Amino acid sequence: ATRVGDVVRFAPTAIADCGVAFVGLGAAGALAAAAVARGGVGRIALCDWVAVSSADVDAGAYDPAALGLPRAPAMAQSVEALARGTQIDVVALDVGDEDGLAALEAVLDARGADAGAAGDAGAWEITCVVCALPVSAVARKALNRVCLRRSLPVVDVRVTGMGVLGGVSVLLPGASRCLACAD
């Protein structure tokens, strides 16, 4: 990666060595995960504990056959079909409770299946977290603590007003407000 001012440019091979964790896989989070998978990222962690709803299906985020299934495993099937070379980690637990948070932390701390030293091809370390959790303040605050401890940037995705209004904020540890402050 090269830095030009405040912009970091990644070579396509560098993108394949990165990983992104998605916490919250409603329509916005699921569509973002699918787009990142198509972009060639090497590792995706999918975290959600809620079942796929008709609203998720209506938004085009999930296949109708996934209705009622847990979101994280359902999205894992979609990502696998989009990007066969992507390593997929699934956490189907609430990050607002102790077990779910511990499972997410284990995924964030782990390296990919072909892990080498940091910077080696195949290390696939998680380099960014996408949060699309509009509902659970407890989970958002827990995720905030985890990301701050690891100095992970967070892309905060919010959709309100029955899917009509939305916003995206990039939160950089030490350089901008944190996820808890964004509430």
* Euclidean distance between CA atoms 19 and 123, whole angstroms: 9
Q: Which of 13, 30, 41, 7 is nearest to 127 (CA)?
A: 41
Beta carbons of 146 and 104 less than 8 angstroms apart: yes
Q: Which of 22, 42, 40 is nearest to 32 (CA)?
A: 22
Q: What residue numbers bound the domain in which 18 lies?
A: 2-171
Query: In the β-sheet with 154-160, what is the strand arrangement from edge to edge?
Result: 87-91, 43-47, 18-23, 125-131, 154-160, 165-171
Asked if the structure places residue 52 within a domain, the reply is yes
What is residue 180's predicted lDDT score, i.e. its pLDDT?
74
What is residue 152's predicted lDDT score, i.e. its pLDDT?
86
What is residue 85's predicted lDDT score, i.e. its pLDDT?
81
What is residue 168's predicted lDDT score, i.e. its pLDDT?
80
Beta carbons of 95 and 139 less than 8 angstroms apart: yes
What is residue 5's predicted lDDT score, i.e. its pLDDT?
59
Asked if the structure places residue 92 within a domain, the reply is yes
Asked if the structure places residue 179 within a domain, the reply is no
Query: Which CATH number characterizes residue 127's domain?
Result: 3.40.50.720
Residue 45 to residues 3, 7, 73, 124, Cα–Cα distance (Å):
26, 25, 11, 11
What is residue 121's predicted lDDT score, i.e. its pLDDT?
44
Q: How many domains does the chain have?
A: 1
Backbone torsion region of residue 78, taken as left when φ is above 0, otherwise alpha when ψ lies between -120 and 50, otherwise beta: alpha
What is residue 66's predicted lDDT score, i.e. its pLDDT?
96
What is residue 17's predicted lDDT score, i.e. its pLDDT?
80
Asked if the structure places residue 119 within a domain, the reply is yes
Asked if the structure places residue 40 within a domain, the reply is yes
What is residue 113's predicted lDDT score, i.e. its pLDDT?
52
Beta carbons of 52 and 60 less than 8 angstroms apart: no
Asked if the structure places residue 176 within a domain, the reply is no
Asked if the structure places residue 19 within a domain, the reply is yes
Asked if the structure places residue 183 within a domain, the reply is no
What is residue 122's predicted lDDT score, i.e. its pLDDT?
46
- pLDDT, one tens digit per residue, over 138-180 is 888 888 888 888 888 888 887 776 666 677 888 888 787 777 7
Query: Would strands 165-171 and 154-160 be described as parallel, antiparallel, or unpaired?
Result: antiparallel
Q: What is the pLDDT along the chain (183 residues), one digit of tens a residue?
A: 555 555 655 565 677 888 899 999 998 899 999 999 988 888 899 999 999 999 999 989 999 999 999 999 999 999 999 887 888 999 998 888 899 889 989 988 886 554 444 444 445 677 888 887 765 788 888 888 888 888 888 888 877 766 666 778 888 887 877 777 766
pTM (global) more than 0.85:
no
